[in-house]
Amino acid sequence: MNRMERMLQIAGLHDGEGVLIHKPSNMFYLSGYTGEGLVAAGNGFQAIITDFRYTEQAERQAPGFQVLMTERGVNHAQLAYRLFKDHGVTHVRYEDDQVTVRSFDRIRQAMPDMDFSSLHNAPETARRIKDQGELDNIEEACNISCRAFDALLPRIKPGLTEKQLQIMLDYTMLDMGADSVAFDTIVASGENGSLPHAIPSARVIQTGDMITFDFGAKKNGYCADMTRTVAVGQPSPEMKKIYETVLRAQEVCESVLAPGKKCSDIDKLARDIIDGAGYAGRFGHGLGHAVGIDIHEEPRLSQACGDILEPGHTITVEPGIYVPGLGGVRIENTCAITEHGARTLVHAQKALLIL
Ligand SMILES: [Mn+2]
């Protein structure tokens, strides 16, 4: 069964039903196509609907797909309607979390006699279980990220700014084979470390700072996600204690990852360690998330996620402690759930590195 067939099976698609896929990551997953437009499909047919700029690209990237081109007076939705009519479709399932109100109005105008209902994230459900090729891509993205970080470490010096370190790390990832960065690199030094999603600034690195780097390469359409916090010179005893607490939470939680484990239970394990060390309320985000074509996918290691881990899931383990006015620490690995446990795809040192 190919990806499209599996997705349609998850969607429970009946005869007479068709699907519209607008989310770029879902289009890429199902077809390999990375351009603009949409995918229309059903049992026994699949097409990419796009404009002149992308038709040749679509034919190259998605050989099993019919490619339909818009022209003056015939928009994407009208082409999809013709395709659906040719295949006896009377009911369209669409991504109600992606299509805007305006775009949905256009679709309804083009298909006045169709019924519509939600696709209920069937593509995202299919994407939860990564196949070997996907895992290989994520691992390669992680390897590039780790090698780039290794190359950066000896270059981290007092006097550089966060922004300079970000540029050096991003450049190195690209130079080492990344297609792009998976998300905007975070570099947070000193007291900026208390901002979980700090934007690299003109702040100058000083001796005694801890610096958090949260970053990842993207390779063949797949993301890596890792975080390391390093010290430049001797950090304060308080920051050392914070570091050791985060490290313990990270290692304990990573070691218990396995099929059958409940996501919220693993999050609680980290929260109990951090709260027990006196930092209750200073770990204000979830413990982790799946990684794939998108940087944040399902399932999540969070208090709210009752999902059960399965082989083929990826998951990050990224506890942190954030203390305004003082700083913060986060340590993150991307892991893959296997038949009997899990393995980390990130091999950079986790013990405190004092540069
Ligand atoms: Mn992450």
Percent of the chain surpassing pLDDT 70: 100
Q: Is 90 helix (H, G, I), strand (E, B) or coil?
A: coil
- Please compute the mean of the pLDDT values over residues 14-37 and round it to a whole number: 98
Q: How far is the CA of 78 from the centre of ligand 1 (A)?
A: 40
The candidate with the shortest Cα–Cα distance to 301, out of 257, 244, 245, is 257
Domain boundary among the residues 127, 145, 165 is at 127
Residue 352 resides in a domain? no
Query: Pick from 127, 154, 185: which residue ends a domain?
Result: 127
CATH of residue 15's domain is 3.40.350.10
Domain that holds residue 318: 129-344
User: What is the CA 33 to chain-centroid distance, rounded?
Assistant: 18
CB 348 within 8 A of CB 321: no
pLDDT at 333: 98
Mean pLDDT, the chain, integer? 98
Question: pLDDT tens across 262-321, in order?
Answer: 999 999 999 999 999 999 999 999 999 999 999 999 999 999 999 999 999 999 999 999
My answer on whether 88 and 208 are in the same domain is: no
What are the pLDDT digits (tens) for 44-100? Answer: 999 999 999 999 999 999 999 999 999 999 999 999 999 999 999 999 999 999 999
User: What residues contact 171, with CB distance under 8 A and at least 6 apart?
Assistant: none
Instruction: Enumerate residues with CB within 5 Å of ligand 1 (an ion).
Output: 225, 316
Q: Where is the domain boundary, 127, 147, 165?
A: 127
Within a domain: 239? yes
State whether 177 and 272 are in the same domain: yes
- Same domain, yes or no: 120 and 133: no
Mark whether 78 and 156 lie in a shared domain: no
In total, how many domains does the chain have?
2
Kindly state whether residue 67 falls inside one of the protein's structural domains: yes
Mean pLDDT of 177-185: 98
Decide if pLDDT at 43 tops 90: no
- Taking the centre of ligand 1 as the mean of its atom positions, its distance from the CA of residue 256, in whole angstroms, is 18
Q: 214 CA distance to ligand 1 centroid (A)?
A: 8
**157 lies in some domain:** yes
- Rounded to the nearest angstrom, the distance between the alpha carbon of 57 and the centre of ligand 1 is 32
CATH classification at residue 135: 3.90.230.10
Q: Are residues 113 and 227 in the same domain?
A: no
Shared domain check, 153 and 76: no
Alpha-carbon dihedral sign for residues 78, 84, 87, 88: negative
- 195 CA to middle of ligand 1, Å? 14
| Strands, E assignment, the chain | 17-21, 38-42, 45-50, 66-69, 91-94, 115-118, 180-181, 186-189, 210-215, 217-219, 222-223, 226-231, 288-290, 297-301, 314-317, 320-323, 327-330, 333-337, 342-344
Residue 353 belongs to a domain = no
Residues 116-160 pLDDT 10s: 999 999 999 999 999 999 999 999 999 999 999 999 999 999 999
Per-residue pLDDT at 328? 98
Q: In angstroms, what is the span from residue 194 Cα to ligand 1's centroid?
A: 16
325 pLDDT above the threshold of 90: yes
